Each structure stands twice: as C-alpha cells, then as structure tokens.
Amino acid sequence: MEERLLRWFEENGRDLPWRRTRDPYRILVSEVMLQQTQVPRVIPRYLAWIERWPTVEALAAAPRAAVIREWQGLGYNRRAVSLHRAAQRVTRSGWPDDLTELPGVGAYTAAAVRRFAFGEAVLPLDTNVRRVIERSGSEFEPEAAAALMDLGATVCLARIPRCAACPLADGCPSRGRRYEPLRKQSRFEGSFRQRRAETLRLVAAGRSSGLDEEAVASLAQDGLVEVRAGLARLPQ
C-alpha cells in the first residue's frame, strides 16, 4: 500500500512552499498557520510572513504589535502571540527537545516539525492522515507523512471519497463508502469570536476607546491588546 501511495504522491503531491525547506522555524510558521486555516489561504500569508521575517531571530526581534497586524485575517489571533513567544524562546535557548514546551505547540504540531524539519521517524497524525489510516486499515511509515496528508486532502475526502482516483483502492475495505456530514464549525457571524476579531481590527487601526469591553478584556487576557488608563492598544 505504501509503495503505491508514494508513487501516487510523486505524480500528484501538492507543491507547497513549506515543503521546499527544512528550516524548523519556517515549518513551524506553516504548521501554526495551518492549525485552523485552509491551505489556499495560508500560502500567500506564509510567503509574505517569511519575506518579512525570514528567520526565527527576525521574528523574535519584531514588535509584538507588528506580528499581530501581520496575522490579521488569518483568524484565531492568539496563534500570532504564541508564535512570537515561541520564536523568542528559541532565540534565547534554542529548540527544546520537547517541542510542546513552546507556546502554541501541541502534540501534532510538534510531530510535524520533528518530521518535516528534523527528519525524525514520527508520523504526524492530522485529520487527513488519521482518516486515510482508519479507512484503508493500513499502517504507514513516517516517510509517507506528506503523501498521506495529500491523499486525505484531495482524494480520501471526509464525506464522499474519490475512491476511483485512489492508489489504495485495491485492498481498501472502505472503498465506495459514503460518510455523514461532519459537524459544522460553529457560526462565525454574530459569535464572540467575530466580536473579538472586529475589536482587534479596530485597535490595530488605532481606535483606543468606545470598544466592545468584553472583547477587549478577552483580547487583553490573551496578550493581544494592552489596556492603559482605560485605553486599548496593541502590545508595545
């Protein structure tokens, strides 16, 4: 199964900018962006980010406000603060053996950096990889990580897999099955998440008062804004 998968990947693998590097900083940036944002939206933002801050040291030295501004529009802005803190920690003390010690880095992101940057023999299990493994009932080596991700993202789709185009179809016990729609992500419109995003946008644009107080308090707690003498601003 794995050989067939790898042959398919050679022909059909996605050419993603973060696959052209083994720099752990660049891999980390891509993985943090991809945590909650789709690949097509991440690509231009990743390229702009790397052009602006090409190294971990450059990001660590950047003002927090600039980092938050650059993140605008990617959503879940807390990730920007965590990424900035992680860069500062790495610049100070190097990459830790346990990458989950870095702010905003969970088990999956740590495994992805270990695999794609450091070449370690770990298989990062994201949603796509898990789905292909579960459905095909096969085991795969860490070398197949990127191929599994692409198969899950483009062929072994969540609801209606494209089994006719799948290199694992011969011998896949789930071939031809259909799946129930996944639970939809909670609505953004009218949510507290939207109020926070709008408030942060206003603060980034220079508004310091007359803001949604609840949203400001929540943003301040996450280190995304500072409140001094009742006025909100991006962290200095």
Residue 232, Cβ neighbours under 10 Å: how many?
A: 24
Stretch that binds ligand SF4, among 47-55, 105-113, 169-177, 221-229 (CB under 6 A): 169-177
Stretch that binds ligand SF4, among 56-64, 93-101, 166-174, 227-235 (CB under 6 A): 166-174
Number of residues that bind ligand SF4 (CB under 6 A): 14
Q: Return the number of the residue (131 or 196) whose C-beta is nearest ligand SF4.
A: 131
Produce one character per residue of 191-202: b if its CB has 16 or more CB atoms within 10 Å, e if not: eebebbbebbeb
SS3 content of the chain, % helix, strand, coil (to 5): 55, 5, 40
Cα(198)–Cα(208) distance, integer angstroms: 13
- The pattern of x and - marking residues 122 through 161 that bind ligand SF4 according to CB under 6 A reads ----------x--xx------------------xx----x
Is 10 part of the annotated catalytic residue set? Answer: no
Q: Which one of residues 4, 41, 69, 175 is an interface residue with ligand SF4 (CB under 6 A)?
A: 175
Cα(88)–Cα(115) distance, integer angstroms: 22
Please list, in sequence order, all residues whose beta carbon lies within 8 angstroms of the beta carbon of residue 112, skipping any fewer than 6 positions away: 27, 31, 124, 126, 145
Least Å distance, CB 183 to ligand SF4, is: 20
Q: Which one of residues 56, 174, 216, 219 is an interface residue with ligand SF4 (CB under 6 A)?
A: 174
Instruction: Tell me the longest C-alpha to C-alpha distance in the chain.
Output: 67
Which listed residue (2, 10, 11, 31) is catalytic?
Answer: 31
Tell me which residues are annotated as active site.
Answer: 31
